[in-house]
Structure 1
Amino acid sequence: LTVKYGKDDHTISGLSCTQTVKDLKQAIYERTHVQPTRQKLLGLKIKLNELTDETPLSALQLRPNMKIMLMGTKEEQIEKISETPKDMPEVLNDFDIEEEDVAIEDREEFLAKIERRVKTYKINTLNECRPGKKLLVLDIDYTLFDHRSTAEQANELMRPYLHEFLTEAYKNYDIVIWSATGMKWIETKLKLLGVSNHTDYKICFYLDADAMISVHTPKYGVIEVKPLGVIWGKYEQWSEKNTIMFDDIRRNFIMNPNCGLRIKAFRDSRVSRFTDTELVKLTEYLNAIADLDDFTTLEHRNWRDYRKKPTHKSLKRKERDSDESRHKT
């Protein structure tokens, strides 16, 4: 059995079908140093809510050389979270970035990188784009689900109201998923969440880390970003006027600051899933702006305060209703 953890593949052998998931997790711990209690195994032919430590390996339908994915954090990494680094890393600290601090969207060398991505990156279309629909680009980790929670069930990892949000958004927007991970990770996560085969909405396509580019900023150093120009260069019906991107990390849309909306990160899902209503509020925002011809007139950072301006038709309707009410009186 091959277990993929991060960028590394670990071979697990020496187990028999009569042994249990508990034995498998212990073997994985010996290779990866991820405690069994922190392990989440993806890619097994069994529902997560049916998987327990006592489940026999014979029930997992394992095949020779089968590959599964491990999610979990090593103890030493957890201990380092609270430590203050001696030297600030080259990678951008997201809490420091402001749009006005990094004006890089028009730099020639970065636009050239985008052009190369447009020419070389291959997009696998899952569902055809629909004429007249605006574009919604979504991150996965900490946006749609908590990928580092100690919870084990998909419904505990998933952000509340996810399917309701995607169903409602699909009415006015074509949906694209863009994650800074590998394509196999993306496919596995969305299958786990029940997104990839949902009947009430469709995803147009996925973009992975290979579609991103690295940029250098004088103040923050080298950062990896998600330039929407990669999509716009391949699909002429979309542009900054009808595209919006949700991501919990602001630097990801630094090349297109007017199109990005920084969503509140969904962490500690075992607790926060009982109170998190971010997707409900964002559904209202997407519906409110859906009829606009130009999204560049919006300040997405102020989305919580957005109030839809009444249209000429709605004003006429309101005036007519008022007249009818007076006549009845």
Structure 2
Amino acid sequence: MPTEHEDTKDEISLAEEIWIALTFTWSGKAFQLSIAESDRVFDLKNVIHNLTRVPPERQKILGLVKGKLPPEQERIGDLRIGGKKFTLIGTPEGDEIKDPSQLEVLPDVINDLDIDVSEDSAAMKAYKNDKRNIRKIKEMTEKLKVNLIHPLRQGKKLLVLDIDYTILDTKPLTSGSLPPAECARPGLHQFLEAVYPYYDICIWSQTSWIWLETKLVELEMVGSDKGYQIAFVLDKTSMFTVFTERDNKPWTHSVKPLQIIWNHFPQFDASNTIHVDDLSRNFALNPGEGLKIHAFKNAHTEAAMADKELEKIARYMVHIASVGDFKTLSHKDWKYVVRGLPPR
């Protein structure tokens, strides 16, 4: 939980933000918007999307800058566009003729181009001090409405658990090629039952709530008589995009900012929260709380059926449950810790 001093620093940082007013026309109508200098071209396109329903990939912006619009990671403050008027050309969602092959399908979150921010102190500092990230956390906190499925229990720690390729193989589940039970990572329910006496459980997925709810029910994680309860669920709408570099090239990715949970539930903070995910980049704003698990795929194979990862993580999490401050731990060492535990 942030201290009063830290809250004051954040408020000062946000107060120092410089906002730019812009006017544009689209389909014969005038629109106005406000964008912060610390925002990126990515954010500008999303504001335009919210105003017009024209998705970023269809937006043609004329008159804002000379020549071609800069890449999405470019900072608004570097464009010197204050007071500018521009024209938008683009077809809004719903008005296009859709090819059936282009219709949205069930999401498939892939472990590509992953990055471990904890190995780069400069990147960690840049993420933490980015005014845009500070403001996004504040905005996401205000926007978040948590629906408690099961009451939080006094004195418990918090497990934030990813779903796609962490506790199930997403591809055969969404395609229907395997029954839900055969898509689950081996030992899923035993893992959750083992840690539940010590941890309240939050499921946080990078997919949408529609698919997430269906998955949880099909996997019997919700609405069953298992020996654990899911406290609450977050989906991709509680994530936002951040900007960094990879191999000296601009790179963007989404993050799961634990601070928005801590702001809603102050009994949880960095001292008692652990985040299990197959993507290290999801830990970017909270690298110390992340525990990376290798991605679970090819659920139908013999190797996948022999997977023991959740059994090992359960042993680790039960072992550290009595630790008063998780900030004293390095979850990167979790496998070494498990190897040193006495046999059961």
TM-score range with shorter-chain normalisation?
0.5 to 0.7
When residues 216 and 33 of structure 1 are mapped into structure 2, their CA distance, relative to the original with a 3 A threshold, is closer
How many corresponding residue pairs?
A: 231
Output aligned runs, 1:232-271, within 5 Å.
Answer: 232-271=262-301
Given candidates 203, 224, 239, the residue that maps to 1:212 is 239
When residues 184 and 242 of structure 1 are mapped into structure 2, their CA distance, relative to the original with a 3 A threshold, is same
The separation in 1 between residues aligned to 2:218 and 2:100, in whole angstroms, is 25
Q: Does 1:289 align with 2:320?
A: yes
Output the amino acid matched with 2:184: M
Contact 1:92 1:222 in 2 (8 A): no
Contact 1:142 1:248 in 2 (8 A): yes
Output the amino acid matched with 2:268: W
Tell me the secondary structure at the aligned position of residue 261 of structure 1.
strand
Match of 2:113 in 1: 93
The separation in 2 between residues aligned to 1:210 and 1:72, in whole angstroms, is 14
Match of 1:38 in 2: none
Given candidates 114, 123, 133, the residue that maps to 1:110 is 133
- Unpaired runs of 5+ in structure 2? 1-98
Given candidates 133, 146, 169, the residue that maps to 1:146 is 169
Q: Does 1:126 align with 2:162?
A: no
Contact 1:139 1:177 in 2 (8 A): yes
Contact 1:92 1:251 in 2 (8 A): no
Given candidates 193, 210, 213, the residue that maps to 1:184 is 210
Identical aligned pairs, as a percentage? 37
The separation in 1 between residues aligned to 2:266 and 2:148, in whole angstroms, is 15
Output the amino acid matched with 2:113: N
Given candidates 172, 177, 200, the residue that maps to 1:174 is 200
Deviation at 1:213, TM superposition (A): 1.4
Deviation at 1:221, TM superposition (A): 1.9
Q: Deviations over 1:242-261 (max 9, x none)?
A: 00000000001110000001
Match of 2:337 in 1: 306
When residues 172 and 106 of structure 1 are mapped into structure 2, their CA distance, relative to the original with a 3 A threshold, is farther
The separation in 1 between residues aligned to 2:102 and 2:143, in whole angstroms, is 38
TM-score (norm. length: structure 2): 0.62
Given candidates 211, 224, 240, the residue that maps to 1:198 is 224
Contact 1:226 1:253 in 2 (8 A): yes
When residues 252 and 304 of structure 1 are mapped into structure 2, their CA distance, relative to the original with a 3 A threshold, is same
- Unpaired runs of 5+ in structure 1? 1-29, 35-68, 74-80, 82-90, 311-329
The separation in 1 between residues aligned to 2:107 and 2:282, in whole angstroms, is 24
Alignment RMSD: 2.7
Deviation at 1:162, TM superposition (A): 0.4
TM-score (norm. length: structure 1): 0.65
Match of 1:39 in 2: none
Contact 1:105 1:254 in 2 (8 A): no
The separation in 1 between residues aligned to 2:253 and 2:102, in whole angstroms, is 29
Deviation at 1:93, TM superposition (A): 1.6
Deviation at 1:189, TM superposition (A): 0.5
Tell me the secondary structure at the aligned position of residue 159 of structure 2.
strand
Tell me the secondary structure at the aligned position of residue 255 of structure 1.
coil
Q: Deviations over 1:75-131 (max 9, x none)?
A: xxxxxx9xxxxxxxxx9820x434232211343321211111111111111111001
